[in-house]
Structure 1
Amino acid sequence: MLKLLFSKEYIFLWLIVILIPIIQKKVIGFFGEFWVKLELKKLKKDYKVLNNVIIRTIDNSTHQIDHIVVSKYSIFVIETKQINGYIKGNDYDKNWTVKRGKNTYYINNPVHQNYGHIKALSEVLGINTDKFISIVCISSQAKVRVNSKFVVRIYMLVKYIKSYTNELLSNYIEVYNTLVSRNIKGYTNSRMHVKSVKEIKKVTANDLIKKCPLCGGELVNRQSKYGSFIGCSNYPRCKFKK
């Protein structure tokens, strides 16, 4: 019996069983990013699109960013999530809950992840974080119950980007060219990025509680005629509140 279990045929079968979920996840992720890429092609004049960007920061860590849209209106940093099921969470949860049938699992909060990307891009480009717009694009048919202004469904992505009409970056072509030149390409660098992700310190929920996820400003207690609330210290330039 043991001899049969360890035969080449059984070992091959077990490898298939183990690898199918991994391959399936990568394929689903690929199609999610590809779908967003097609949507972003609808952006014409005044928008420059970069897909699957790997940027190295000053401390030699790397950040893989699904999509960046550079325009004179803002720099849009897009994290794509292809998830099926029921998604629940908010900006400050460490993890989001995903329910699929009878199964429940957790994913890292993509808002936190994108916040880290924006901080890295801000450092590399020398541009304040208030010039960046964070977008978590849900490209699946998931039922989203996420309390976050950063979450955008794919069919609303282009419209959402075009809703920003205040010109903030007169040198956006220069910014785009800098990103093109700083984009690391190739298999080796991709593997280095995977290693770097395991080593770098993650942005924690506590960091985000103190910092505005929109612009990186301090979150402070503010007062209005309706009562007190927590808002960004950069108000009215930044209108984030919770």
Structure 2
Amino acid sequence: MKKCLTLCILAIFAVSLTACSGTSTASFSTDAVTQAVTTVTPTEAPTEATEYKIHLPYSCFPAGGLPTDSDLILTNEDRECGIISKEKVSTGGMIITVEKDKYDQLLEHQKNKLCELIEREQADMYIDRIEYNDDFSEIVEYQVPEETEPEHSSDDDQNRALLYTLPYTDYSHNQEINYESVYYQALLKKNDDSEIITCTYIVKDSEGEVLDTSVYPST
């Protein structure tokens, strides 16, 4: 009888030890998970820039390549097109800061400005048409056929001949187009001043023969 009672007590003691051991393991596992969760630091997503900084080359500015005080003024037109700041560059040119969500609007505005200048230039009585590529880096002016040229005096002929003997820097009829072409290309390429941007202006006769080719700025 005593032996049986002893065996029962030992069995109960063994069951108690097993239960205690299970509780300890569960408690340890829960603590470990809690510690792991609390030590994880969430990774923050990088903040995306909301603006572009674009370098307008010195060749956009006729006054020695440096923008004037009036060039640095933020106009209502600038603000509408997303330009929020202008900064003069000591070596020439300007850096403009443009809102990303208005960048396309600014690009379209500059493109329309160029098209208007070209249409105005085409009104010249000696010009038949002006063609250009997608980024306005090459502009081709076609002269009207000689047989359809308007009546003009000998002085007109002399002045016209003189025009093509002058240095390119003395040309005035397409200079503004050159400036605005470089400006447009700088916007289109989101220029960081890593390359030279030029505009090639070609004059051809009605048969397509090249009369003059000029690159602005001269390289």
TM bucket, shorter chain: under 0.3
CA radius of gyration, larger in: 2
